[in-house]
Every structure is written in structure tokens, then in C-alpha cells.
């Protein structure tokens, strides 16, 4: 059924939970915040190699939508709602081309892993140290540069490196693309609540939380491995979890920390801190000789 513009905006008005509120007084902080919100220039510079957004909405509808979103997304203190904040972060994260990260993974068995990541585009350097509950210690390094993966295993008296074309099953999407996809899926799947404020590496952040009851039946399950792998969200048959709690810390419109925790079928906590966004990073491959020659 085709409706007129007047009927459309009338329907939007009925959905506005603030329609019975008095408008803010002209010149008040809330009035100025709303005015700044709906008139700010949100257009971002195009980035080489990224798909442009589809411009299929009429200019009049866009203007009206900006007004509605600006009014609904702002609370009385001019702070965006949880959903609006994470959506903005998802959009901004698509622009991130390089970063560094530290990860920790804890299992109920007592096993613990520490991981350092440096990434630039499709290239990355990952160093993982695994500490077993029995006191055992294993250390690995993976470097991906120009489509070649260099895997290093450390022994007591030596180290051994192999080199081969990167297995597509273990490829990771660029972090910006992956985080944007995961956040968008979370917003689609479940309600997001604000937990509180926090400071990470000197950056003021807001802590948000959501819970996904059955990840394999959620929007997350439809994302490719290359995107989910960044956040330990590979929901496979032998790695099935339920009631997964996902916490996200957002500051300066990017993700600074993500925490994924579940209790079933076994307890596990994954936490990653991300920093040095868009730093000048070059991933350099190791020099040979290698235990196995590079394969075509």
C-alpha cells in the first residue's frame, strides 16, 4: 500500500516514545545538543578499496530521518543510547586499517593463553604463549605477509619456521571490516545495555553488554570464519556454547576492548584490548632458511 508523506510521518510520530515530552527550551544545553546532533556533517572521506554506501533514499526522507534519529538517540544528558553508540562505532571501525592488540583466553581447565597481535590490512604478526594447568609452556608465532604464512614453533634449544601460502580456512578479514560486521550482527540479534564508564589506556570509554542465548541460531552464525575469528566466535559443532555474554568498550567511536564469556558447555573467557589504531605498521616476513619451502 502506498502512503503519502504526511501519513508516513504521522506513523513515525506514533512510534516516538518522547512525543508527550515538552520540547527543550531554546538555548538550553539539551536544545543545543540536539541541534548539533542533527546538523553535524557525518559524511566521511572515501577510502580507497572500500565499497561506497548505496544512496537509494530520497533527500527529503534522509533529512526527516536525521531529525527523528537525532531526537530519539539522545538522552536528556545528550549522550547516545547504547544501540546508537555501537552502531556509530561499527561504521567508524570500517575505516581502521591497522592496529595492535593483546588477547587473553582462559579455560575452566586452568589453561591460559596470552596473545600479541600486530595487524596492517591483510598482513599480521601473532605471538601466542600457552600456559597449561600442568605447568607446561608452549610458544608460537605466525606472520602473514603478502599471502604467505610463516609459522614458528619454539623449542627449548631452537626454533623452527615453515612457510607456505596462507590456508584460506585460517585467513582473517581486516579488523575494521570484521568488527563492523560483528557489531552490526549483535545489534540485530539482542538488546544492548550500558554498563558504565571506564578508562582504558588513557581513553575514556563506555562499557556495553549483550547476551546471545544460542549463538548458532543467531545472526552471528551467518558471518564468515574470517570475521568471527578475531573475537573467538567460531560456533562450530565441537565448540558449541550457549548464553554467551559479550561486552564491548567503545571510545572515540572505535572498539577498545571486547570480552566474550560463556559457562556452557564449559567456562571460557576471551578478552582483547585494541589500540594504536591506524598506526604506521609494516609486517616484515622472517628470513630463511625454512623447514619447508614455500609452495605455489
Classify residue 49: in a domain, yes or no.
no
Classify residue 263: in a domain, yes or no.
yes
Asked if residue 103 and residue 25 are part of one domain, the reply reads no
pLDDT at res. 143 = 92
Give bridge partners of residue 98 from the DSSP assignment.
120
Classify residue 53: in a domain, yes or no.
no
pLDDT at res. 82 = 81
Asked if residue 136 and residue 31 are part of one domain, the reply reads no
Asked if residue 144 and residue 15 are part of one domain, the reply reads no
Asked if residue 205 and residue 168 are part of one domain, the reply reads yes
CATH of the domain at 260: 2.50.20.20
Residue (of 194, 172, 191, 183) closest to 254 by Cα position: 183
SS3 state of residue 293:
coil
pLDDT at res. 235 = 62
Please state whether 253 falls in left (phi above 0), alpha (psi between -120 and 50) or beta.
left
35: domain range? Answer: 5-41+58-79
Asked if residue 239 and residue 123 are part of one domain, the reply reads yes
Asked if residue 231 and residue 137 are part of one domain, the reply reads yes
Residue 168: phi, psi to the nearest 5? Answer: -55, -30
Asked if residue 103 and residue 75 are part of one domain, the reply reads no
Q: Which of the 8 DSSP states describes residue 190?
A: S
Asked if residue 75 and residue 205 are part of one domain, the reply reads no
Asked if residue 134 and residue 75 are part of one domain, the reply reads no
**Distance in angstroms (rounded) separating the CA atoms of residues 67 and 271:** 37
pLDDT at res. 198 = 94
Helix 59-73 / helix 82-93 crossing angle, nearest 10 deg: 130
Classify residue 270: in a domain, yes or no.
yes
Residues 6 or more apart whose CB falls under 8 angstroms from that of 185 comprise 218, 219, 220, 222, 223
Helices (H), 157-291: 175-189, 225-228
Q: Which of the 8 DSSP states describes residue 295?
A: P
Secondary structure (DSSP) of 92-142: HHTT--EEEEEEEEEETTS-EEEEEEEEETTEEEEEEEEE-TTS-EEEEEE
Number of other residues whose CB lies within 10 A of the CB of residue 168: 8
Asked if residue 134 and residue 62 are part of one domain, the reply reads no
**Distance in angstroms (rounded) separating the CA atoms of residues 19 and 17:** 6
Classify residue 84: in a domain, yes or no.
no
Classify residue 46: in a domain, yes or no.
no
Asked if residue 290 and residue 184 are part of one domain, the reply reads yes
How many separate domains does the chain show? 2
The ranges of the chain with pLDDT < 70 are 1-80, 189, 232, 234-241, 264-266, 291-296
Classify residue 29: in a domain, yes or no.
yes
**Distance in angstroms (rounded) separating the CA atoms of residues 128 and 20:** 56
**Distance in angstroms (rounded) separating the CA atoms of residues 185 and 221:** 9
Global pTM? Answer: 0.66
Asked if residue 27 and residue 158 are part of one domain, the reply reads no
**Distance in angstroms (rounded) separating the CA atoms of residues 140 and 220:** 29
pLDDT at res. 100 = 93
Classify residue 106: in a domain, yes or no.
yes
pLDDT at res. 32 = 52
Amino acid at each position: 500500500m502506498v502512503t503519502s508523506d504526511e501519513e508516513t510521518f504521522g506513523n513515525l510520530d506514533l512510534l516516538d516514545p518522547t512525543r508527550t515530552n515538552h520540547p527543550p527550551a531554546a538555548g538550553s544545553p539539551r536544545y543545543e545538543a540536539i541541534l548539533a546532533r542533527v546538523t553535524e556533517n557525518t559524511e566521511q572521506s572515501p577510502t580507497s578499496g572500500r565499497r561506497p554506501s548505496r544512496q537509494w533514499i530520497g533527500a527529503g526522507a534522509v533529512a526527516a530521518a536525521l531529525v527523528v534519529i537525532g531526537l530519539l538517540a539522545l538522552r536528556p544528558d545528550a549522550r547516545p543510547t547504547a544501540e546508537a553508540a555501537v552502531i556509530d562505532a561499527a561504521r567508524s571501525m570500517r575505516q581502521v586499517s591497522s592496529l595492535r592488540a593483546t588477547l587473553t583466553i582462559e579455560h575452566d581447565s586452568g589453561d591460559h593463553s596470552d596473545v600479541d597481535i600486530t595487524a596492517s590490512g591483510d598482513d599480521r604478526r601473532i605471538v601466542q604463549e600457552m600456559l597449561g594447568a600442568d605447568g607446561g609452556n608452549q610458544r608460537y608465532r605466525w606472520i602473514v605477509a603478502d599471502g604467505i604464512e610463516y609459522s614458528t614453533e619454539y623449542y627449548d634449544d631452537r626454533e623452527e619456521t615453515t612457510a607456505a601460502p596462507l590456508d584460506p580456512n585460517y585467513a582473517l578479514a581486516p579488523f575494521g571490516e570484521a568488527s563492523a560486521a560483528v557489531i552490526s550482527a549483535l545489534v540485530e540479534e539482542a538488546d544492548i545495555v550500558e554498563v558504565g564508564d571506564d578508562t582504558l589506556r588513557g581513553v575514556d570509554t563506555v562499557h556495553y553488554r549483550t547476551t546471545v542465548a544460542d549463538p548458532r541460531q543467531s545472526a552471528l552464525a551467518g558471518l564468515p570464519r574470517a570475521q568471527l575469528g578475531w573475537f573467538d566466535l567460531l560456533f562450530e559443532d565441537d565448540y558449541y556454547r550457549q548464553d554467551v555474554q559479550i561486552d564491548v568498550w567503545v571510545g572515540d567511536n572505535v572498539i577498545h576492548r571486547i570480552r566474550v564469556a560463556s559457562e556452557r558447555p564449559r567456562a571460557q573467557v576471551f578478552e582483547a584490548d585494541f589500540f594504536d589504531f591506524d598506526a604506521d605498521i609494516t609486517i616484515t616476513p622472517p628470513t630463511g632458511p625454512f623447514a619447508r619451502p614455500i609452495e605455489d
